[in-house]
Amino acid sequence: MSEEKSLNFIEEIIEEDLRTGKHDGRVLTRFPPEPNGYLHIGHAKSICLNFGLAKKYNGKTNLRFDDTNPITEEAEYVESIKKDVQWLGFQWAEELYTSDYFETLYEYAVKLIKKGLAYVDKSNSEEIAISKGTPTQPGIAAPDRDRSIEDNLRLFQEMREGKYKDGEMVLRAKIDLADPNMHMRDPLLYRIKHAVHHRTGDTWCIYPMYDFGHGQSDSIEKITHSLCTLEFVPHRPVYDWLIEKLEIFPSRQYEFARLNLTYTVMSKRRLLELVREKHVDGWDDPRMPTISGLRRRGFTPASIREFCDRIGVAKRENLISMSLLEFCIREDLNKTAWRRMAVLDPIKLIITNYPEGKTEELSGENNPEAEDGEGSRIIPFSKELWIERNDFMEDAPKKFFRLTPGKSVRLKHAYIVECHDFKKDEEGKVTEVHCTYIPNSKSGEDTSGMRVKGTIHWVSAGHAEKAEVRLYDRLFAEEDPMASENFKDSLNPNSLQIIENAYIESDLAKAEMDKNYQFMRLGYFTLDEKISRKNHLVFNRTVTLRDSWAKEVKKGKKK
């Protein structure tokens, strides 16, 4: 890397392993999603970490679907996960499934039974919970704990054959019922579940538990560094115990803090609730913290990678501000988005001294931040324009540098105009603003010598196209929705504003999917990939040009 950056704690571990020649200098990580929902920005942190480390140390990353729960998992989720990881800019070495290892895992379980290290327990889940004891009191052995190896082998075989009902018995490791770590008190390894699995169909009716499926899959793949979030710290002794007793490849688990973001929730279960109860329009609703939602909203892969880089990896939980994510996308789009003009709340501006029927073809750079401007587009100009309603005021305060009778502004890429009159309807609403233009004040060839304080955007009324524009606010009104009794109580009722008839400059009719535009003075926008049609364009606002929330919070308007 060109700039010196201190190593995070996982990089330190890897560099130490490389120095001591552990795993022959090999680095193999994995990203192990359970296909029970769409990926969210928290997963992006794990993806950037796993793939980023592999890239840095010339290693590889597997994509492994942790598909051990047939009830909640679906092929649709598998497809969306693959799409999202690739969109973020990463390519896995191998696409693997825990379900591919079901036979091997079964053999591992048999091996444990044969070693006297696992037993079939006929207690029900309540009995198991009680017999586990409490952190201060040791557990009590179930009557089945001392059953013979032969009987355990037979029962386990029969579990597999489907002789028993769901919940009738489980397979448990025989570790230590007095261990201060509750996870070590004979953890469950297998349960019975008569359900159709999205890949193995009805081949199996017993499924490995997380503790058994996960670490053993790591080992089968010879993963060198298995990274997971902090809640798995107490599972690590189980992870190590199983690998040791099975005498298989010694993968190691390391834990980092999960990402928590303000004004949103980040668990698939809760996101699914929002989808099912139609608080949002699907997993990819632009207000969702999912990768697909962020994509539809107009976030770029680079901005999400930058965000994950900035938050870093630590061993302590914290809450990251949504403003940081927004900062990252603004930084990126300021450099890359093409500039265009659109008017969201239109009011007519008539240039009384401009010839009727005349059209001028003005031009505007696509991207003033780029050295070559990335070319330019033609902007038609004529006698009748649309401008933003709030760019005109009848009785303006002194510091209002936009249009008001007697004052002048520059029309972006065009001329200086001076307001001399306006029209109102019966209700007193302004319907037209009348101006004169200064013919020798054209942008780029201005010889008028006039100086004006304000520049406003506009579109030519006879040339503009109509479009739908969607403005978003935060999905939740509270910084930490989980602090409410029910997280849905803090949903923000004004998180979506639909503007059905906005006017966009004619060039935007050719707007491309996956491209970002800055609508001057209004924010960054992108075409909605799901609901836009050729003759009904829908633009989503990705983010405003400035952080309006920081200001509102200061004013005490928003909490």
Residues near ligand ATP (CB under 6 A) are 32-34, 42-43, 45-46, 66, 228-229, 258-259, 266-268
Cβ-based nearer residue to ligand ATP, 42 or 215: 42
Cβ-based nearer residue to Mg ion, 317 or 394: 317
Query: Going along 267-336, which residue ranges are E strands?
Result: 318-320
Cβ-based nearer residue to ligand ATP, 291 or 387: 291
Phi, psi of 28 (to 5 degrees): -130, 115
Helix, strand, coil shares, percent, the chain, to 5: 35, 25, 40
DSSP state letters, 116-175? T-EEEE---HHHHHHHT-BTTB-----GGGG--HHHHHHHHHHHHHT-S-TTS-EEEE--
Using CB atoms, what's the residue nearest to Mg ion? 34
CB 311 within 8 A of CB 303: no
Q: Is 268 a catalytic residue?
A: yes
User: Using CA atoms, how far apart are residues 528 and 524, in angstroms rounded to an integer?
Assistant: 13
Q: Which of 92, 18, 86 is CA-nearest to residue 50? A: 92
Task: Choose among Mg ion, ligand ATP, none what residue 46 binds, the Cβ cut-off being 5 to 8 Å by kind.
Answer: ligand ATP
Cβ-based nearer residue to Mg ion, 47 or 435: 47
In the set 18, 22, 26, 34, which binds Mg ion (CB under 5 A)? 34
Task: Choose among Mg ion, ligand ATP, none what residue 32 binds, the Cβ cut-off being 5 to 8 Å by kind.
Answer: ligand ATP
Q: Which of 193, 258, 389, 558 is catalytic?
A: 258
Q: Is 258 a catalytic residue?
A: yes
Smallest gap from residue 147 Cβ to ligand ATP (A) = 33
Task: Choose among Mg ion, ligand ATP, none what residue 60 binds, the Cβ cut-off being 5 to 8 Å by kind.
Answer: none
Q: Does 374 bind Mg ion (CB under 5 A)?
A: no
3-class DSSP assignment, residue 239: helix
Measured between alpha carbons, how far is residue 201 from residues 30, 99, 102, 274, 463 in Å?
Answer: 25, 11, 12, 29, 58
User: Using CA atoms, how far apart are residues 421 and 434, in angstroms rounded to an integer?
Assistant: 5
Choose the binding region for Mg ion from 34-42, 304-312, 331-339, 344-352 (rule: CB under 5 A). Answer: 34-42
Task: Choose among Mg ion, ligand ATP, none what residue 145 binds, the Cβ cut-off being 5 to 8 Å by kind.
Answer: none
User: Using CA atoms, how far apart are residues 70 and 531, in angstroms rounded to an integer?
Assistant: 32
Q: Which of 132, 160, 236, 268 is catalytic?
A: 268
CB 346 within 8 A of CB 387: yes
Cβ-based nearer residue to ligand ATP, 229 or 492: 229
Smallest gap from residue 254 Cβ to ligand ATP (A) = 11
CB 76 within 8 A of CB 67: no
Smallest gap from residue 32 Cβ to ligand ATP (A) = 5
137 Cβ contact partners less than 8 Å away, ≥ 6 residues apart: none
Q: Report which DSSP code applies to 88.
A: T
Cβ-based nearer residue to ligand ATP, 313 or 504: 313
Using CB atoms, what's the residue nearest to ligand ATP? 42
Q: Which of 11, 22, 26, 34 is catalytic?
A: 34
Smallest gap from residue 34 Cβ to ligand ATP (A) = 4
> Which residue, chain included where needed, has tokens 């909605």?
528
Smallest gap from residue 37 Cβ to ligand ATP (A) = 6
Task: Choose among ligand ATP, Mg ion, none what residue 45 binds, the Cβ cut-off being 5 to 8 Å by kind.
Answer: ligand ATP
Q: Other CB atoms closer than 10 Å to residue 341's CB: what's the count? A: 27
Smallest gap from residue 108 Cβ to ligand ATP (A) = 21
Element (H, E) at 236: helix 236-246
Cβ-based nearer residue to ligand ATP, 34 or 345: 34
Task: Choose among ligand ATP, Mg ion, none what residue 268 binds, the Cβ cut-off being 5 to 8 Å by kind.
Answer: ligand ATP
* Binding footprint of Mg ion on the chain (CB under 5 A): 34
Among all residues, which ones are annotated catalytic?
Answer: 34, 258, 268
